[in-house]
Amino acid sequence: MKLEILGTSKDKTGEINLPSQFNEDIRPDLIKRAVLALQSARRKVYGAAPEAGKRASSTLSKRRRRYRGSYGFGISRTPRKILSRRGRRMFWVGAFAPNTVGGRRAHPPKSEKILEKKINKKERRKAIRSAISATIISDIVKERGHIVPETYPFVLDKKFEELAKTKEVTDALNKLGFEKELARAGIRTIRAGKGKSRGRKYITKKGPLIVIAGNSKLAKAAANIPGVDIARVKELNAELLAPGAVPGRLTLWTKSAIEALEKEKLFR
């Protein structure tokens, strides 16, 4: 499959043959597995302390005529803590066993539990190739919610990686027909729930992903554009290409990135 190469002012500078990574069948099931594996690897282990809820003394004898025993009081033989006493009369509270008010948890989360999910190397690579091939199918990209011009898909010229200012990148994207897409990605909404007070006040949308060959000034220049992500072709993963495990993210490939993809036989 051939795609046109467009410059920063939407002028055609040539054509390029896409490598075999773009011919993979789209497998949403594999993409979802790869994304969940990445997300699970970022989870931090958590759990209760082994002695949580057991630090208080709650021994209670269940034998007849034993001092501080519970026999003969018409109460169940559950472990109890003594709050106060008057002579030989004890005032207990059953705040120890899991079935009592104020008691410890029966099965608290344990820090030794393995939260990370595994995926085979070949399956992960196939998922990335599947997500790559979905980025050049305009119907799938539109179905995901992106607003794309009629000329999409196309490849960006190598000079696009030389842009060093945010305004230059924004102007170039607007000229290429992504003005409405940038406006859509720039809208942010306030999150519902307690996440507002935990550093996640706003929900932002995913906009274009620009894939470059290596280190360039473009990575820093486009960092402040809402919704736009910059990724080196070697660092691509299923979550970047299919956020939320939904394939078809609007992706702009530079000519040098596609050449590196073919030359180094990445994700094969």
Asked if residue 260 has pLDDT above 80, the reply is yes
pLDDT value at 179 more than 80: yes
Q: Which domains does the chain have, with CATH numbers?
A: 2-43+116-263 (3.40.1370.10), 45-114 (no CATH)
Kindly write down the DSSP assignment for every residue of 208-226, as one continuous string: -EEEESS--THHHHTTTST
Beta bridge partners of 14: 5
- pLDDT category at 216 given cuts 50, 70, 90 is confident
Could you tell me the pLDDT band of residue 72, with boundaries at 50, 70 and 90?
Answer: confident
Write down the pLDDT at residue 176.
Answer: 93
The set of residues, in sequence order, having a beta carbon less than 8 Å from that of 15 and lying 6+ positions away, is 2, 3, 4, 5
Phi, psi angle pair for 90, to nearest 5°: -100, 145
pLDDT higher than 90, residue 9: no
Cβ atoms of 28 and 247 within 8 Å: the answer is: yes
pLDDT at 250: 95
Question: Residue 172: its pLDDT value, please?
Answer: 93
β partners of residue 81: 93
* 191 three-class SS: coil
Residue 201 CA to residue 195 CA, distance in Å, equals 6
How confident is the model over 28-44, as pLDDT tens digits?
A: 999 999 999 999 999 99
Q: Which of 154, 144, 113 is nearest to 15 (CA)?
A: 154
Query: Average pLDDT, stretch 86-113?
Result: 90
Is 154:138 a contact under the CB 8 Å cutoff?
no
Per-residue pLDDT at 76:
84
Report whether pLDDT(95) > 90.
no
Q: How many CB atoms lie within 10 A of CB 92?
A: 19
195-215 confidence digits (pLDDT tens): 999 999 999 999 999 999 988
Alpha-carbon distance 265 to 224, whole Å? 31
